[in-house]
Structure 1
Amino acid sequence: MNRFVIISGCSGGGKSTLLSELDRRGHGVVEEPGRRIVAEELAGTGDALPWVDTAAFARRAIAMSLRDREEAAKRRGWIFFDRGLIDAAAALEYATRTPVVVNYAAERFFRRIFITPPWREIYVNDADRRHTFQDAVAEYERLLTAFATLDYTVDVLPKIGVAERADIVLEHLRLT
């Protein structure tokens, strides 16, 4: 059984808050590559920022996600990924209009993907999230397509409190 669980969805849907709750409960968590890359790029040249060069950003996210998987393999128990490899591949596919997602079919994660839907009431922009809510909705739809392409089961998490969302994720894992 694969211990790597993806928490995905559009920007501003509550993923990171859910991951913080899972971490608080003692589970392994891998931070979102995108936020780490933005921080590095803002401290450096800024050439691979998503609003400067989406393809370069996505390529960096893919490389970071592959390293994250390698490091996560050294840990025990369920490991929850805040986005990661498939999200990055979907972003590169969108940026280049070239099929990319299928290239990572062999890099399997747990068969169920937990995804946060667009949630206007909690969506906010910040210095690192500059796109609109409509952009986030389009991203969500691309992700649904990417996960379907790789034959994952997608569980859309309800728009409820973070503790209840974490309970749902953990209950699904207990049932496997």
Structure 2
Amino acid sequence: MDRFVILSGCSGGGKTTLLVELHRRGYTVVEEPGQRIVREAMSSSGDAVPWKNMEAFLRRAITLAANDYALANDQSQSWVFFDRGLIDAAAALQAVTGEPLLTALASRYRYHSRVFLVPPWLEIYS
């Protein structure tokens, strides 16, 4: 989708701050799947977190990101900005397991051809 834009990069680069501002300006934004998974696991003593079970965490992130994509496709006809997303999770899972799913998922879940990568920004990291 040409209207689906991924913001990616390391922690502390300002993705969340940027997404908050985009939302304030009326754009649809989607929170990073990983943050939601960690919150859920912390409240339920789950183990699908990167420091316990990276593969389970990444598979859950792919599922959430696919659901986010479908929901955004159904609910928004304008720009949608994703904090990381399916491509990030699929690339990480492929790196961890060797499972060649990135190409298949990338062809099924299309995003804008331009991805915004935020660099580390130590002055704002908290």
Regarding TM over 0.5, the answer is: yes
1:13-35 deviation per Cα after TM superposition (whole angstroms, max 9, x unaligned): 11011000000000011111111
Q: Secondary structure at the match of 2:115?
A: strand
1:75-106 deviation per Cα after TM superposition (whole angstroms, max 9, x unaligned): 12101111110111122122223333222121
Q: Give the structure 2 partner of residue 115 of structure 1.
A: 117
Quote how far apart the aligned CAs of 1:122 are.
2.9
Paired with 1:7 and 1:105, the residues of 2 have a C-alpha distance of: 16
RMSD over aligned Cα atoms: 1.4
Structure 1 residue ranges, 4+ long, deviating more than 2 angstroms after superposition: 97-100, 118-124
Quote how far apart the aligned CAs of 1:53 are.
0.6
Q: Give the structure 2 partner of residue 66 of structure 1.
A: 66
User: Contact conserved, 1:55 with 1:91, CA < 8 A, in 2?
Assistant: no
For structure 1, the 5+ residue unaligned runs are 125-176
Q: How high is the TM-score relative to the length of structure 1?
A: 0.66
**Residues 1-176 of structure 1: matches in 2 within 5 Å?**
2-74=2-74, 75-106=76-107, 107-124=109-126
1:37-74 deviation per Cα after TM superposition (whole angstroms, max 9, x unaligned): 11111112321011111110000000000000110012
For structure 2, the 5+ residue unaligned runs are none
Q: How high is the TM-score relative to the length of structure 2?
A: 0.90
Paired with 1:109 and 1:72, the residues of 2 have a C-alpha distance of: 12
Paired with 1:6 and 1:113, the residues of 2 have a C-alpha distance of: 5
Identical pairs, percent:
56
Task: Between the two structures, name the one with larger relative contact order (CA 8 Å, sep ≥ 6).
Answer: 2
Paired with 1:29 and 1:93, the residues of 2 have a C-alpha distance of: 26
